[in-house]
Structure formats: structure tokens, C-alpha cells
Structure 1
């Protein structure tokens, strides 16, 4: 029986490579130029660190064997305490490796900045001047992904496509909790956060069907928050667009508010049309009627505040309670809201809620103290 257990253990060791052969190490076999450069950085950093780790581990084993108690031939010198040559080797080698690793990391960090527009689609292949990047607006919902294509006026859920060798400009946000947008074959992960926009510039170089995931825990449905990314040629991309338009429905605000509600294992959905300014209202957290857009609130603050209307504005900005019945009742009691017409869309974006025939909230209370008055008052108190 002991021999049988030993045989089984030995067979299990030999079975490990066969089990691992079924794993797809997509990070180490990318299909996009950005992911390829990130893989190279991983390999370079790993090799540089192994130049320290391997000798240390090897010497540890060597010293334990060489100076074992039973080896009488080994020189034993209990008085030895210093060697200049050994000190130079011990400290200079790691220092040189750290300097090289730091330089490589610093250069790569700036070169692979996700906010930096691409200057090449592959090594030795600069971006053609006549190629326009594909803009995709990404929204992380509970627990699914919404992709909007503003250039084509369509949207999809849990599926997206992009033509090969065409730069992609991702604009990423979230509707509720923080998430992480990640297509391992394409590029590194980028956080998606409510009320703000992050960016990612990438390109897919090989056609294929790739998996996208959320790389940040976001609740009960997190494990099923996956989507498919299709890398296709120009003809294939046009065919995909046609399929979305033929089989899709309209994505208006009411449809979005239903889609926004938490759900798991959401199927792929197509939308042939998208309400104007939907992404902007998602980003500024004002898709529900009666809520104030964040960009408008920032402009009001910039102009000195809303005066007596500030308390009402505060209630309109309580987004964390948007699914709460009490909060919805309070919003209903406030009545309809008219976006301030003085908002500069070139600076703060466009607020897309419909206007109402009611008095608008003034951007500044004329009695509000100026910055100079506030500073003067502070000095007087000091």
C-alpha cells in the first residue's frame, strides 16, 4: 500500500504539466500592441529580478551543503568578519539591477500611459494619418457592461467589436460602484468610477474572439460580469454594425433606467439608436428626471454658489439613495428641475435634461461673499 501511495504521488507530479497545458495564459500571449508591450515589460522585470533571486537561492543551498557538519574538508574560520571584494559584489550587483529596472519601469510607465493617444499600431507601424480612432463609451453597470458607439449611434450590452489595426479610444465610467474594465488580450485594466471618466487608448492587431472581465470586486454578480470582444476586419466590423442596427431596439432614458437596475447573467443586447447625450448624463449622474447634473453643480460652485437654492440643490445631488423610496419621494416633492442655461458646454460638457417652463436656479447669490471678502474675514479672526 505505501508503494501505491508513492506511485500516485509521482503520477500526480507528472500530471501537473498536462493540467496546466489546458490553461490560456492570455496575458503572456496578447493580441494587441499595448498588451504586447506590457508583456515585454513583465518579462524584462522578471528576468532582472531573477538575476538576484536565483544566485541567492542557489548560494543558500550551496552553503548549506558545503558547510554541513559532516564535511570535514570545508574551511572553518570563526574569526572571519569582513571582505571588501565580497561587499562590493554583494551591493553593486543589486544596485545596478535596481537602477536598470527603475529606468525601464519609468520609461514604460510614460510610454504606456493609458491616457496617451497611440502613435503606432504595432512595432515599426505608425498610425496612418487618415485613420480616425474608434471611440467607444463604456459604462460599468450592476452587473453588466454597456458599450456606446457615438460615431454610429448604436449601443450594446456585454458585447463589443472593433476593427483590426484601428486605434480605439475608450471613455470609461460607472453607474454605481467602482469597477475595473479589463480585456487581457488588448491592454491593461482601467478603473471605472461613478461621476468621473477614465480613458484607455489601445489597438487590436489580431482577429479573434476575446474575453473581457471586471477585475475589481463589485458585489454579488461580480463573477458573471463578463463580455465578449470581437477583433474583426473592416468588412466584419461593418457586418457587425449592420447586425446591431437590424436586431436592435431603442436605448432611451427609460430603457436605460431599467437596464441600470442590478441584474446577473445579463444576455447580450443590441440597441439600434441611443438617446442624445445619454453618456454625458450617465457620467454626470443625472439620468433620472429631477436630478442635477454634476457638471452644472460645478459651474454653479465656480460662480459663487446657488444662494437660497443651495439646500434644494443638495437634495438633488444625493445620488447614493437613488434606489431608495424615501429619496425618490423627496425628489418628487421638489418638482421638475430646469438645467441652468448659463452652463458653458465647452468646459463642463452638455447637460441633457429637458427644459421646463419654471424659474431657473440662479448661478450666484448676489449677497454671497466674494473670495477676497472671505480671506479678509479670516485674517480679522486670526
Structure 2
């Protein structure tokens, strides 16, 4: 009878059993295609975070791996025990049901001690890495690949400016600048001074170091180094508008000889980065190709930070200094809460002034003549008790 059911013929004359077997025959093929598609998609993923070219990026990668491993110590056993408990205590099978069970010291210790130990380990790891990976902290040569290099070599300074939607890199000590092209010598410490033209962004060089915010009117700092030749990429990690997706730059780690040749090529590029050129660059543009400049204005970065690149616009430092020196009376800003009085002497509080000195106004009671005030010469007069 079972064979009769399985061999029932459909209206179109095909067997149900045959149709099912035919579908199953295609299952391995479909699985293989799905696996191949997933592998193809994963092949396009960038693995820059797990392929570091510098000691800072390497420590950050290890931090991610260790933290993930510590958290999996809880996640994996919980997922396994869910399946074990569901199978062991399934209906009609498994362990003994005890309706009076309400507490187990062993079970409580197992449930709470493991997460507590992991939280303590993560807390210690976070505290130590926060100090060791402080971006403002210069690199420790003994703890990095820079040990044994020239101890008197100064860090290479690179000034980073986030524009819409491109990156400007200024090498102030070398007199050159680039757009969307960051070239660095390997085995040399680099100090990045980071700011933004008008919108908050994130400077992210995954093969070299972590993400550092670039904010208008402020300057951030990052110390890092490359310890091997690399040709990678950097990007903005903070959404900043229409051109955000194309806001990427090239990172190249080269030898000292190659770096010197590249610097000479930038100086001979025929283009100079001055105020007029910067004001053209600051205009929004997308997917800008790399450009090389010689630097004609060595004070440009400071004026970008203080937001006074445009001719005639006062710098924030000058405005604040004038405000502090003159109490805001002769500056462009109103006096602050803690500003000095304009005439140099601290004004006397109203509580110490006589009624005549206070004067009158909408919120000041008109002073009265003490000789005409009722009750002042009669201590027992009811007017002395009038609190209204």
C-alpha cells in the first residue's frame, strides 16, 4: 500500500516519487553553487584590519582577537548547552523532574563566576590598552619594530585635513603636500596632526592605526609607524554627506630612497599649495585623483585649525586673546562670564552700594529718604515689623 501511495501518478502523468528523487538529485549542485557564491562574495571583502603593517595596528588587531575570544568563552558554551538541555530534557525522555528544586550553589557559582572573571579580564585589558594605545603618546621604540634604528631620528610630521570629500596631507618639514595620497617611509615614526575644514570626519588607516576624529576648529594627534612595504588604503569612518563613499586615500610604505625620490617629484610638480589653491580645494568634490604640491604657505595648517584661511577673517586665537585682554569691549565677541572688567578695577557688588548709588530702574526699588521712613525713630512702631 505504501508503494502504491509513493507511486501515485499526478495529473500530468509523472510519478510523485520520481519527482521527489529528481529534486533531491539537484540538491548537491545547488549547495555547491551557494557555497561558491558565498566564497566569491567573501573574496571581495577587505582584510586590512587583520593584515597590519605597523605595530599600533598589530596591537589593535590582537586586542580584537583576544576580546572576541574572551566573549566566545561564554557564548559558545551557552549555545551548546541550549541544544544539550533541549535534547536531554525533551518530553518523555531525559532527566528526573523535581518540582521542589529551588537552589543549587554549584550551579549558581558556575553561572556567575565565569562571566565575572571574563568581565575582570576585559576590564584589565581595556585599561592597559587605553594607556598603551593612546594616540597622543609617542611610540615606545623598545616595544616596536623601531628598536635598533637611529635613536636621534625625529618623527615625520604629517598634517591631515579632512575636506569635502577628499584628504589633504601636508608635510611641513619637507615643504610638500598631497591630495588622497599618503606616502610614508617604513621604520620611521610618524606624527599626524589631524583637523577638518568644516565637517566632522574620521581619519582611518586600518593597516597602520585606528580611527581618530577630525573636527573643525580642533586638532587631534596620532603616532604610528609602518614596519614593512605596503600599498593599502585609508578612508573616512564617519558619514559626512553625498561623497562619503568615495572619500578614500592611498597609503604606501616605501624605503627611504624611494621616499626621497617621491619627495623630489612632489617639489617639482609645478603646483604650489597656497591660500588660493586651498580655497579651491575646500570646495566639495567627489572621487578626486591624487595630486602633488609644493607648499608655498607654511602657516596654512594653523589657519585651517583656527578657521581663518579666508582673507580678512579673524583667527580664533586672536579673537579669544582680544576677548580676554579687553573683556570683550573692544573685540568681536561679547565679554565672557569670567572676563576682566573693561576699566581694570573689579566692580563693587550691589550689596555694598548705598541706595543712592544703585539708582532706579524697572527692577530696582526707588530709594527712600531715611528721615521720612515710618517707624525708624520709633522702635516700637508696627511699621518696623512690616515685611512687605
Q: TM-score range by the shorter chain?
A: 0.7 to 0.9
Could you tell me whether the CA contact under 8 Å between 1:121 and 1:205 is conserved in 2? no
Corresponding residue of 1:31: 53
Secondary structure of the equivalent of 2:311? coil
Compute the displacement of 1:2 (Å): 3.9
Corresponding residue of 2:63: 41
**CA distance in 2: counterparts of 1:142 and 1:17, whole angstroms:** 35
Corresponding residue of 1:69: 91
Corresponding residue of 2:274: 252
**CA distance in 2: counterparts of 1:121 and 1:25, whole angstroms:** 28
Where does the alignment leave 5 or more consecutive residues of structure 2 unmatched?
A: 1-21, 354-362, 364-388
Higher helix share: 1
Corresponding residue of 2:135: 114
The yes-or-no answer on 1:223 pairing with 2:245 is: yes
1:147-296 aligned at under 5 Å gives the runs 147-296=169-318
Could you tell me whether the CA contact under 8 Å between 2:203 and 2:213 is conserved in 1? yes
Corresponding residue of 1:349: none
**CA distance in 2: counterparts of 1:36 and 1:231, whole angstroms:** 16
Corresponding residue of 1:343: none
1:246–1:367 Cα change, 3 Å? closer
1:250–1:56 Cα change, 3 Å? same
Deviates more, 1:18-27 or 1:184-193: 18-27
Secondary structure of the equivalent of 2:259? helix
1:74–1:365 Cα change, 3 Å? closer
Compute the displacement of 1:69 (Å): 0.8
Compute the displacement of 1:8 (Å): 5.1
Where does the alignment leave 5 or more consecutive residues of structure 1 unmatched?
A: 315-363
Secondary structure of the equivalent of 1:102? helix
**TM-score, scaled relative to structure 1:** 0.80
**CA distance in 2: counterparts of 1:130 and 1:263, whole angstroms:** 41
For residue 154 of structure 2, the aligned residue among 108, 132, 135 is 132
Compute the displacement of 1:274 (Å): 2.7
The yes-or-no answer on 1:94 pairing with 2:133 is: no
Larger Rg: 2
**TM-score, scaled relative to structure 2:** 0.78
Compute the displacement of 1:230 (Å): 1.0
The yes-or-no answer on 1:56 pairing with 2:78 is: yes
Compute the displacement of 1:366 (Å): 7.1
Aligned length: 328
Compute the displacement of 1:246 (Å): 1.6
1:22–1:177 Cα change, 3 Å? closer
**CA distance in 1: counterparts of 2:341 and 2:173, whole angstroms:** 43
